[in-house]
Amino acid sequence: MTLKPIILLDIDGVLNPALRARPGAIRPDPQLTDVRTALVRRLARCGRIAWVSTWPAEMTAQLEEQLQLETEPLRVTLLLRPADADDPTPKLRSVARWLARMEASDDWDSVVWIDDVLGPDAREWARTCGRPALLEKPSADRGLTEAHVIAVEVFIGGGGAVNATT
């Protein structure tokens, strides 16, 4: 059985786009390398991407413009409280709440979460979330690599038979 995941994708520490200033622009333009762009496009063929980032919507829109994905990514609403900063995975509460709201949608059956800040609380959540889940934790200095994308491809092709504690 092939899975159809929602792919929760962080930006900083995972995609690590270069920020290039344009004359007269208020914000810099994020620019992905060709390699990173190809990796994200492969991920998008594996499932529906959902940004899990504190980046402003206009900057993620610039990334989407560069990526030219067939399906527009979703955006996880991050409502970070001061107490979340003390958690091993500060985004976990927001992600769990967002996925609970997505339960009614029948176009996904599993979760892939790629973030450079995934702690033991995220691993516990992945084991108990009720759907097959894969966590990939790139190192912030290297970001998303071929190995992470291969792990996602194996996970979806194997019906979720991959351990959630990557």
Residues in the chain, total: 166
State residue 68 phi and psi, 5-degree precision. 50, 55
Those residues whose C-beta lies under 8 Å from the C-beta of residue 72, and which sit 6 or more positions away, are: 64
With a cut of 50, say whether residue 29 has pLDDT above it.
yes
| Whole-angstrom distance, CA of residue 16 vs CA of residue 140 | 8
Average pLDDT over residues 73-86: 86
User: Which of 117, 111, 123, 112 shows the shortest CA–CA distance to 137?
Assistant: 117
With a cut of 80, say whether residue 144 has pLDDT above it.
yes
User: Which range (33-37, 55-59, 124-128) has the least confidence?
Assistant: 55-59
Percent of the chain exceeding pLDDT 90 equals 64
With a cut of 60, say whether residue 128 has pLDDT above it.
yes
49 or 79, greater pLDDT: 49
Calculate the average pLDDT of the chain: 89
pLDDT score, position 158? 85
Q: Which CATH number fits domain 5-157: 3.30.420, 3.40.50, 3.30.230, 3.30.70?
A: 3.40.50
Percent of the chain exceeding pLDDT 70 equals 90
pTM tops 0.85: yes
User: Which of 2, 7, 1 shows the shortest CA–CA distance to 134?
Assistant: 7
User: Which of 116, 115, 9, 103 shows the shortest CA–CA distance to 63?
Assistant: 9
